[in-house]
Structure 1
């Protein structure tokens, strides 16, 4: 099953990057005008606990503290950043992380290394035996990183029941705009 899901990741991510290139360029140009730096790069906890650099479109002012989304100050989000977050377009550059094999389209959202309680809960439940994802069951059920135990349990549940139909269902519901997951509380 893992090889089939990885094949789907590669196929969908590469297609998304090719088709979305004009949109990516437009967002990057507007983002440059908005913050002076259209991309946000941050080290996160990845597969088997190893670090990787997550890439997103920047939605906050450049001097914003690097904290978990649920702890971020909503006033740091730019006007364009609000649009990107609301439409989930800020996540699109992560398709590159998917192509590189650092992430999957569907999996537990990668956390910061400072989120030690969540990291411990996920290790205890074997969550890091899967690639982190852009979307997942927790995000679709509005469970964010402010409740580490609940999130780790939901991640474990998702991974234990992961199959091709669930994978596509999670993607479909995400594209339809369901769930808020790790959003900053506005």
Structure 2
């Protein structure tokens, strides 16, 4: 298995079933960390929110600053996930014409030179700044600071029963996949990293992933 921060190939073990670490003490401590971290982040980064909002509006005045999208969370529950808008206003309408250009395997869509991404969007995606509004999702309890990324309903529709194990825990703003290569890894490798996290998650593990995420925001990895 690749360690956090590594881009090594992940060993695929799709016949294994995951055992969730759901100890009560850990879950309580994790929720406290989520609330405190989200509040501190929203307050301390309010100046950055304002600057990004202004830049988005200057480049594309007609579109909204924030983008909300239905995602699938723990146990298949759907919720609205928030991000800074990094694409043109009609991005969802254009997706169908781009699906054949998907550059990753499995049930997700990624395209390095996606023509729907704006100039501001390219920067905020590269630095993961576009993900910051998800701190609001963390406060609401839809997401955690650390966990598997919440998939789209159309992606879940293609999941096998094995893949659906990603939905056994609350999804996160960041996770083991993001700090282990992100778009350099395929769908199956992403699933394995998520399941590794679910099996081994602990408060210390979460803190390590958060610090690695901050490092990646300062020195971007393969995000696009």
TM-score by length of 2: 0.73
Secondary structure of the 2:79 match is strand
- 1:52-96: per-residue Cα shift (whole Å, max 9, x none)? 101000111111135745147522111111111122110100000
Contact 2:126 2:220 in 1 (8 A): no
Larger helix percent: 1
Contact 1:144 1:151 in 2 (8 A): no
User: Which deviates more, 167-176 or 110-119?
Assistant: 110-119
Within a 5 Å distance, the mapping from 1:11-26 to structure 2 comes to 11-26=36-51
Instruction: Tell me by how many angstroms 1:21 deviates.
Output: 1.3
Secondary structure of the 1:5 match is helix
User: Which deviates more, 62-71 or 10-19?
Assistant: 62-71
Contact 1:138 1:154 in 2 (8 A): yes
For structure 1, the residue ranges without an aligned partner over 5 or more in a row are none
Contact 2:145 2:173 in 1 (8 A): yes
> Aligned pair in 2 of structure 1 residues 143, 87: CA closer, same or farther (>3 Å)?
closer
> 1:58 is matched with which residue?
85
For structure 2, the residue ranges without an aligned partner over 5 or more in a row are 1-25, 100-107
Aligned equivalent of 1:101, options 110, 134, 141: 141
Secondary structure of the 2:87 match is coil
Instruction: Tell me by how many angstroms 1:145 deviates.
Output: 10
Is the aligned partner of 1:32 residue 2:57?
A: yes
RMSD: 2.2
Within a 5 Å distance, the mapping from 1:1-186 to structure 2 comes to 1-35=26-60, 36-65=63-92, 68-71=108-111, 74-115=114-155, 116-118=157-159, 120-123=161-164, 125=165, 127-144=166-183, 147-177=186-216, 180=221, 183-184=223-224
